[in-house]
Chains A and B, each alone.
Chain A
Amino acid sequence: SQTIHQWPATLVQPVGSPLSLECTVEGTSNPNLYWYRQAAGRGLQLLFYSVGIGQISSEVPQNLSASRPQDRQFILSSKKLLLSDSGFYLCAWSELGTGFTDTQYFGPGTRLTVL
């Protein structure tokens, strides 16, 4: 069966510090991968998606970036965090060949607080 991991679970970082969040998927090949951010009490905002190694599409211009160095690894980064980067970050995957709007499977999330 497929599983998706995210770490760390929680993170407290000072403004201006770098960020690296990691997501890995097991039990599937060539998945579509997604990074979302969820503000408190709100829905999800798509940040990045990837259809393959090295292929990243950004939906929201900001100081975050994403990379996919391996087929089942997706990394969210920032060189300098802003207060507005605080939130709950979720990684998700969907089956290769399905559209971006078919069923997505989510990781447990990372709670980021920027102080």
Chain B
Amino acid sequence: SQQGEEDPQALSIQEGENATMNCSYKTSINNLQWYRQNSGRGLVHLILIRSNEREKHSGRLRVTLDTSKKSSSLLITASRAADTASYFCATDASTPGSNYQLIWGAGTKLIIKP
């Protein structure tokens, strides 16, 4: 199973509302990242939060990390049509026989309705 799993799989809200996406993971991590992907495009890094941090902000984005629950949330405030995209969390994980690498969830597809 995946290290990081986003919830919900899809989210549709009205422009101006807040959007919250969650990510759960299974093993201990050093950091967790959130990325955005517009349809058919590459991924854009949003925020990296380290395991000793609980909250980070970047503009309209707020990320929280609860290592005791092995979960993170991404909050987008005052959503805009341009926020329509898929959002992925990525965690670091060491797998047997492999080096540390980013493990990706399947993403949350966010649609902002005008």
A-B interaction: yes
B48:A90 contact, CB within 8 angstroms? no
B106:A100 contact, CB within 8 angstroms? no
B102:A46 contact, CB within 8 angstroms? yes
A49 to B102: give the CA distance in the assembly, Å. Answer: 11
Given known pairs A43-B107, A111-B40, the reply for A101 and B45 (CB within 8 Å) is: no
Chain B residues with Cβ below 8 Å from A59 are: 98, 101
> Which of A45, A88, A103 meets B48, CB within 8 Å?
A103
Chain B residues with Cβ below 8 Å from A49 are: 101
Chain A, Cβ-Cβ closest to B105: A43
Number of A-B contacts (CB under 8 A): 64
A101:B41 contact, CB within 8 angstroms? no
A42:B98 contact, CB within 8 angstroms? no
B104:A44 contact, CB within 8 angstroms? yes
Given known pairs A43-B106, A43-B107, A57-B99, the reply for A101 and B30 (CB within 8 Å) is: yes
B41:A100 contact, CB within 8 angstroms? no
> Which of B2, B43, B91, B100 meets A90, CB within 8 Å?
B43
Q: How far is the CB of B114 from chain A (nearest CB, A)?
A: 24
Query: Is B20 an interface residue when CB atoms closer than 8 A count as contact?
Result: no
Mark interface residues in A79-114 (1 if CB within 8 Å of B CB, else 0).
Answer: 000000000101010000001111111111101000
Interface residues of B (CB under 8 A from A): 2, 4, 30-31, 33, 35, 40-45, 48, 88, 90-92, 98-102, 104-107
